[in-house]
Amino acid sequence: MVFFFSCFISLIQKVKMSFEDDFNHLKIQLKDVRSATNNFGDKPIGTGGFGKVYKGELFLAERRHIVAFKRLDRKFGQGDTEFWKEIMMLSKLRHENLVSLLHFCNDDAERIIVYEYASRGSLDRYLGDASLTWTQRLQICHGAACGLNYLHDPNKTQQRILHRDIKSSNILLDENWNAKVSDFGLSKIGPANQPHTYLISNVIGTPGYCDPLYWEVGLLSKESDVYSFGVVLFEVMCGRLCYEFHNGRLISILVNMWKKCYDEKRLDDIIYLDLKEQIDEESLKTFSAIANRCLNRERRERPTMVEIIEELEVALQQQNLHQDKPTIVKRPTSYKSKEEFHHLQIQLKYITSATDNFNLDKLLGRGPFGPVYKGELELPVGRRSMVACKRLDRSLGRGNTEFWREIKMLSKYKHENLISLLHFCDESDERILVYEYATRGSLGRYLSDTDLTWTQRLKICIGVARALSYLHGPMENQKPVIHRDIKSAIILLDENWTPKVADFGMSKVGLPNEPQENIVGTIGYCDPSYWEIGFLSKESDVYSFGVVLFEVMCGRLCFEYGKGKKIGILVPKWKKYYEEKRLDDIIYHDLKEQMKYGSLNTFSTIAYRCLKKAREERPLIAEVMKELEIALEQQELFEKLTRIVDLVIPPLSYESQSHLLSLLSKGILVGDGKTWLSINSNGRTCEMISAIKCISADLLLHDTIENSRFSNVLKGVMHNGFRVEVRTQFLLPRITYAINLVFKHSGMDHGTHIPFKFKFDVETGYSNSCISRVREDGWLMIELCQFTSHILEHDFKIEFLPLFRISSSTIQYFFEGIEFRPVEYCEK
C-alpha cells in the first residue's frame, strides 16, 4: 500500500513538471518582477477577484515595455487552479480584443501573471465621462463583442470558452481606446458540440451582470455571457454602473428598471445626459434593441455574439452617417449645462488649495456620493469663505447623472432650509460640488446631545418640514420634488441651528404614478410601500421624516449597530410603545423634564401618523408642519409660564414638571392677581381676566363673593349697561376659543334670566340671542362668540346694554370676568 501511494505521488509530480514545461518559455524570475514593481512598493493600479495589479517596466525583446503584473492574493478565494487556468487559456488564445499574456512567475508561494499594459484602465472608469463620445463607445462595444465571439468559437476550432464574468471592469482599454477582454480565471472550457447547457453547482459571477437562469438554477451556456454583455451595453448607454452602493454595500440593481424603461419607450429617462445630443436616433434604436434582446429571460430569445457584432456595426454606420450631415452640429448636454451654470463654475486649483489637496485633516465625512471636505475658499473676485466640497467617488455607483441633477436642483430650488450650492467643478476627471458650510454638521450628531433642548429640536424639525413642504409644492413654474433619502444625516445645521436639507443626488422631480424599479434610500428610514413594491410618492418622504421625528424625541438613531453593521431597526418598537402609551420608556431621558405634556402629545401624535403603513393614512407635509408649529407654541407657552411662576399669587412652589402641570390644571392667579390661567389635559390654555380689570360701568362696585377665583368681583344692578375692554396673554395660535361672560345674579330664575344684549366694537347691531348655562362651579356662563386664535395676545372691546329698560329692577349681578376657553372643552 505504501509502495502504491509513493508511486502515485511520483506520477503526480511528473505530470506537474511536464505541465509547467509546456509554458516554460513564458516563465520569468521573481527578482525581475520585484525590480519592475519596486518590490510591490508602488501603489496598485487596481484590485480584482484575483488580487492586486501593479504597473511596471520590464525588459522584453531587447527593449523595455510597460506591463501589468497581477499578483495572486489567496484571501480573495482564488488559487493555483485559477492561476494555471488563465495561463493555459491565454497562451493558446490570440485576438486583438483579448488581453495578451506575456509572462508568469510561480517562484516560491508567489503566483504572478504578466499582461500587456492597457494604459487607460477599465471601461467602468469612463461610463460617466462626458469626453467619451457615443462613437467611441460604439467602437469599444464592437471590439469587446469581437473578443467574446472569438472565445465562443476560437480559431474556428471545436473548443468553446465561456467567460462567466463579463462586466465593464473586465474590459480594458489601451492608448487608442481598443477594447481588451480580460480576467479568465473563472472561465469554463468545453467542446463546441456539447449540449448547449452546463449544470454548475458552484455558481460564480457578479450580481447585476449574472444571467438570472445561471444565478438561480446553475444552468450555464454561451447565452450567459450574452446576458452579461447586454448589461454592459446598457451601462455604456446610461453612463453608469448597473448597481448602486451605499455605506460599502449593494443597495440597488438597475437592470430591471432599464428594461422597463425600454419596454415603455422611455429611454430618454435613462440615457446618459451627456450623450443625448450626440446620438443619432436610428443608431440609438439599433443599439438599444440589441442590448434589450441580450437581457431576455429566455435564452433562446437572446442573440448570438455574431448577431450582436452585426447590429453594433449597423449602429456605428448610422452614427457615422449622422455625423457626416453638414447641417447638424450637436454637442454634449454637459457643455450646455456648463454654459447655463457658468456663473457657478470654478477651477480645480481653487478647491485643491482650499482643501490642502484633499488632506484627510480636512475630511468632514463620507456619503453615498463621496467624501466631503472642509476648506476656506479664496477666489480672485470675492471674499474668503468657509465651504464644504463634496467630491464624486465613482466607485460608490454615482456619476455625472447625480452630479448634474444636484446642480440643476439646487440652482432652481431656493429656500432658507435647503443647503445652498455655491460652485461646482468638472475639470479633468473631477466632479466636485461646493456648498455653504454648515458649521455644526448633521443633526445625527446631536440626537443624544443634552445641550440640544426640546425647543431647539422642535425648531429644527419645523425648518425641515418647511423645506419638504417647499419641495413637495414649489412655485407654479417648478415641478414637485421627492427627496427619497430623508434622514438625520442629511439634515445639516448652521451656526444658529437652522436646519438645511442636503443631498439631492437621489431626488425625483415630478410625481411618478407607477412603481419604480430603481429603489433607493436608507434602510430604517425608507417607506415600506416604496421599499417592497417600488411605489414612490410624496408620502414616502413623510414616512422618512416621521422616523427622524422619533429619532429627535428618543435621542438616538433609528437603528442599532453591532460589529460595525446594522443589527436592528427600532422603528417598529417605537410605534409599539406609542400605541401602548409607553412613550416614557423611549423618550430621551434628558428631555423629559423639559417637555410640556401638550407639546409632547402633539409632536408624538403627528410623528406616529407619519409612520402609518397605508400611505393614504399619512398626513401631508403641510399638516405635519402645522402640528409641529403647534407643539412649539405649546412648549414656548409652557416655558413662558414657568418664567412667570415667581409672579404667581400666592407664590407657587413645585417639585417637578408633573407637579407643576397638576397645579396648572387646577388653575393659578398670575401677574397682578387679575388673570386666572389653567391648562387642560391636552395642553390647551384657558384664560380668564377679572371683571375688575376689564369691565367698566358707573353703577358696578367692587365686592367679594364666595367661590370666586378672584379676590373681588363687580356687583350692581343692570340699568345703564357696561363696557368690556380685554386683552389676552396666553392663548395658543390655531386654537378655536369661545369668549364667555362669567357672572351670577340674585334673581329667582337662576338659569334663564338673560337681561343683556351686546355687540363687539367692529359690529353695528346688537345681539340678544344669549343662552346661559350653569357651570360646574355654580357660576353662569354666556357664550358671546367663537374665534380662532393666531397669536398669544388679542384685544376685544364689547358693549353691553340692558335688554329691557326696567329702572325699578332690584336684581343684583355679580361679574367674575371674561373667559377664553378652548371650544372642544366647553361644557355641554
* Mean pLDDT (whole number) for 87-97: 82
* Mean pLDDT (whole number) for 35-53: 82
pTM over 0.75: no
Distance of CA 681 to the CA centre of its chain: 37
Burial class of residue 708 in the structure, from the number of CB atoms within 10 Å of its CB (0-12 exposed, 13-18 middle, 19+ buried): buried
**Residue 259 · residue 230 · CB < 8 Å:** no
**Other beta carbons within 10 Å of 598:** 24
- Has residue 1 got a pLDDT over 60? no
**pLDDT, tens only, 206-215:** 888 988 887 7
Lowest mean pLDDT among 303-317, 456-470, 511-525: 511-525
Secondary structure letter of residue 479 according to DSSP: -
- Has residue 331 got a pLDDT over 60? no
In the structure, what pLDDT confidence band is assigned to residue 82 with cuts at 50, 70 and 90?
Answer: confident
* Mean pLDDT (whole number) for 514-530: 73
In the structure, what pLDDT confidence band is assigned to residue 475 with cuts at 50, 70 and 90?
Answer: low
**pLDDT, tens only, 272-286:** 988 988 899 999 999
**pLDDT, tens only, 397-444:** 566 677 887 888 888 888 999 998 999 998 877 899 999 999 999 999
- Has residue 329 got a pLDDT over 70? no
- Has residue 271 got a pLDDT over 90? yes
- Has residue 125 got a pLDDT over 60? yes
Query: Domains along the chain?
Result: 23-116 (3.30.200.20), 123-324 (1.10.510.10), 341-436 (3.30.200.20), 441-632 (1.10.510.10), 664-825 (2.60.120.260)
Angle, CA of 115, 116 and 122, to the nearest 5° = 90
Secondary structure letter of residue 8 according to DSSP: H
- Has residue 809 got a pLDDT over 70? no
Helix residue ranges per DSSP H, 483-616: 528-533, 538-554, 571-579, 597-610
For residue 474, give the nearest of 622, 344, 618 by alpha carbon.
622
Cα 783 to Cα 793: distance, rounded to the nearest angstrom: 20
Distance of CA 770 to the CA centre of its chain: 57
**Other beta carbons within 10 Å of 34:** 18
**Cell digits for 540?**
414616502
